[in-house]
Structure 1
């Protein structure tokens, strides 16, 4: 019986972390301590915010490799994977439970849900404490912040409305598909091959049908034009 395969995913969330390497080195130390004797077949590193997994091509590539090789995805800390409970559980289901984190021993669906819920709660408490501190500061010194010119003239509201409309038009499924297309394209795959890969993974085009080669090419061109 062949040894279990592992794929490691590292993420640093800020430009400073990415340049200094401190966040990355700390994660590597965790993984090397717990997985030095494991069959690690690939490592992926990303310098991006953890807010949205659909905008992380390295994570999507890691997930794709795990599914193809029946490998286990490893992260040093679970918040390097995601800070959102639903996103973390979605990845857990996508990998049929083949997910491990150095800071959560014996990770399963229950412990993952519990750990993420505690993290969510802590973020809420931090937000409450921050808002409370701002209220107290206003009581002591009054309102110290000044409204911007854009806010006073009303242009900020118009710009905000446009931004919300643009966001509403953005299809989350297409963003994730576009990231996968970029990964496959970098491997030299043709449009039809990529379309087949997306359809096999359960992706659907904007109107709900299967991806065709022309749709894949169009989505790729739009995504790379924005880069």
Structure 2
């Protein structure tokens, strides 16, 4: 597809994401179910940063150098599709929203993988997608728990909400650490630190506080040690 057409499609999809997330979702109301993985409300302000970074990427693409043009063509329609799915997830019902946010997560994984495979001279163009992917990962977990509780499901495979919360938060923390070492990406795991601290501050469960606080500290320490190791080299 022609690069200018892709850039215009990116811009139109971004406008849809903003309108759906900021205006329509606010009018319709947000999540109502309180679950063990729900972060403090302030945590969702990270969307402002994501919107700004995505807008920066889209606007800059219209004045692109050869490398950024290569990024736009490489990620193709996957990027606008992810924004459309993300925007739609907040305007549909609680249960279908899980499908849309999960599909948005999958498309973002494709986008990130393509960018990593382009062999760019700088990780600069990866930044918006690292943060977007990290927060969408957390949002998918939260959305799934809200949908399950909203449908009155108390147990899955004989495991209750608290048990699944521990499993998913543990898995999320491990994925964030693995992602850093596999992709050499500091921002993705730092988004998990942001989310886990917000969960720690918002939840009363001692188990949830232990898991989220422990992983937030572990991730920060591991990132710090890895950074110092690279500085010494």
The two structures have a TM-score, normalised by structure 2, of: 0.29
Structure number having the greater strand percentage: 1
Structure of larger gyration radius:
1
The two structures have a TM-score, normalised by structure 1, of: 0.29
Which protein, 1 or 2, shows the higher relative CO under an 8 Å CA cutoff with sep ≥ 6? Answer: 2
Structure number having the greater helix percentage: 2
